[in-house]
Amino acid sequence: MGCIRICGKVILAPIVIPYKLCFRRKRPTPHSNNNIRPSLAPPPPPPFLSASTYSNLNDNTSQQHQQAPSFDSQQPSPTLPLPTADYEVFLSFRGPDTRHQFSEILGLFLAKNKIRTFLDDNELRQGDRIAPSLAKAIEQSKIYIPILSLKYAESKWCLNELAEMVEREKRNDGHIILPIFYLVEPRDVGHQTGPYEVAFQQHARKYDAKTILSWKNALQRVGKIKGWTVKSKDEHATIIDRVSSVVWSHINRSEDLLGADEFVGMDDHVEAVMEKLSLDSPGTIMVGLHGFGGIGKTTIARVVYHKLATRFERRCFLEDVRTTQEGKDGIISLQRKLISNIMITRDSDPGYVDDVHRGRKLIQDRVSQFKVLIILDDVDERFDFKEVLGDPRKFVSGSRFIVTSRNTKILRSLNENQCRLYEVRPMNRKLSLQLFCRSAFQGNAPLPGYETLSQEIVQRTEGVPLVLKVVGSSLLREEKSFWEDTLLRLGKIPHKEIIERLKISYESLDYEAKQVFLDIACFYIGRRKDFPSYMWSDLGFHPVTAITILTQRSLLKIGDDGDLQMHDQLRDMGRAIVREENIEQPWMRSRVWDKKEATELLQNMKGSNQVKALVVDDAYDNVGKLKRQHFLNLPKLRYFEAQQVEFIGDFINILPNIRWLCLPLHKSEGHHPINFPMENLIILDLNCSSNLQDDWGGWSQIKVCCASLVLVGPH
């Protein structure tokens, strides 16, 4: 996805740029100046890879990240600056031993797993100490992988780095060492025998006893760590695959991905689910987590998923299955994500899934050959396990599946009626108070003077984690009178009415935050926050402030890529608020997201001043060609999205308030409207107009009519 400014004042918008995840210090080249400059040309393929294989690996590792170029040092320098991005893995090796046989391909595979890796070629070192820039790379990295080869101990730089790794590992601050013993035995490393004994005989003549002792202690420590032993080149592929899998699992451990409040009350749930998984038993086992929305099923599944990271060869978390199935090519989208995660490929790689049957066959033929952990989150009655993944009994013995749902009937029917059920019950009073206080006071206990109020509010929430967090967040730093009013309102809500409890937090928002919340709930979940922010700003809103308020009150989350995320209970609440504007007449509501209702609205040429946003999905998109008369009753429409329609005819004085337009634009003349009102258009979404070229006739109208425009699309 990318965006660009057409004319007028400059608009800065994000553009996805490939990022080389694997950085390696290059050899200095002679006869050149001292400037450090990026090398734009890709490096040649290493001898052990064909050019095509190397190209594919580079393609796979460069997506969805900002580029950090390699640097050429024109003179050898121990302080050569490193890219600013933090590293996750520090790979230490002696170049002549393993560079072209093992180390570089391991680095490529780690990068293919989207792991930021620093490859340190120790042959480029000068001096006896670790340079500050290199020490920083070691400090940043969470995982150290020393490749201990036959002549590793001959390099003082290798030994200095190893000593530094061991020293940091001893501090117990999250650093771990995963050694690879390459054509050498761990006992030779630990006891400095064989080739390592010879190396230290040479070092004894050059270095002091304290330095020698630090190196020996480091080797002794690493020699005791369980790692991998490579005894022949035939084992390269197998070992590299195992290392990549284990490293990826360590990188994604749960304590790094989940907030502290997510672990409140988790221990008993996790222990019960682990018991039902029977990890030491053979065969394929499926566990179903059930309970009403907001009770914590997804959080429990996620904690278990990361806790078991190192127990499986591959794993995949398919979240929000129910919503994904509702979308276009829903089952295919699920299959693509599963295959991509398990096989570590991209959709454009060989094996691309373009129909359900092909996807199921690939899963049964290839994915099922790994010992996998697969989470299927939030499934409903439309989900058919065998249709999506095939027969679970064909997966490798030891594979495990966790399925979450609000519907126990669905879970009971899975895996030949052998799915083991676990009911997620509400939190007890003690844990509820702790979770509430994390949000309301940012601590584990109420502040003085708020003890009784906190206890009474917690009692009204009935132990539902989502309600505890949302209500607690809405009370953070508020006056006691606001707390008392919230307690009174909670007391008027019938038991089990979760959405009504959540609505109390919504009603305390100001007008702008409410409008932004409803827009996101109806249309923008999963989209990057930047793009609707342009529209909100143009409407006079303050999107940064509104989004901050929503996140502070736990009504919204921002993903790692800046995408807007919302719990399905909160989404349903937002849509219920809009639906209640007029139950019987959708054209009298502010937002129409239901595709069938939107299609009928256009076909019958209905509308009102209330309608601000409208989406027509291709599942119901039988409207065909849209003319001015279809929009006569929609003067306030600011957002319109459709997949299979055409705007034709003269649109003069129609849709004066349109700010966001997403529809297919056609290359041929005569297929774009005349006098289309684009003076207020902010976002033109071209994701469904992939065949447009620079010579498209509509560009001239866009350039003339727009003072400022952001294009969003595949180009």
The residues that are catalytic are: 161
Q: To 10 degrees, the CA torsion angle through 669, 673, 679, 685?
A: -80
Pairing of strands 564-565, 557-558: antiparallel
Question: Nearest CA to 298 among 309, 290, 286, 310?
Answer: 290
Distance of CA 310 to the CA centre of its chain: 20
CA atoms 365, 310, 242, 232: torsion sign: negative
The residues, any chain, with a CB within 8 Å of residue 561's CB and separated by 6 or more, are 64, 528
Q: What is the 8-class DSSP label of residue 581?
A: T
3-state secondary structure of 215: helix
Q: Are 589 and 611 in contact (CB under 8 A)?
A: yes
- Please report, in angstroms and rounded to a whole number, the separation of the first and last CA atoms in the chain: 7
> Could you give the CA distance from residue 550 to residue 119 in angstroms, rounded to a whole number?
41
> Could you give the CA distance from residue 606 to residue 616 in angstroms, rounded to a whole number?
14
SS (H, E, C) 320-379: CHHHHHHCCCHHHHHHHHHHHHHHCCCCCCCCCCCCHHHHHHHHHHCHHHCCEEEEEEEE
Alpha carbon distances (Å) from 364 to 240, 245, 254, 367: 24, 21, 29, 6
CA atoms 407, 409, 413, 417: torsion sign: positive
Q: What is the 8-class DSSP label of residue 47?
A: T
CA-based R_g, the chain, Å:
29
Question: Nearest CA to 42 among 65, 67, 15?
Answer: 67
Per the document, the length of the chain is 715
Q: What is the 8-class DSSP label of residue 522?
A: I
3-state secondary structure of 511: helix
The pair phi, psi for residue 2, each rounded to 5°, is: -150, 165
Q: Which amino acid is at 276?
A: K
386-410 residues labelled b (16+ CB within 10 A) or e (exposed)? eebbbebeebeebbbbbbbbbeeeb
Pinpoint the alpha helices (H) of 406-555. 408-412, 414-417, 429-440, 451-461, 465-475, 480-491, 498-507, 511-519, 530-538, 543-552
Pairing of strands 228-230, 117-121: unpaired
Q: Which amino acid is at 12?
A: L
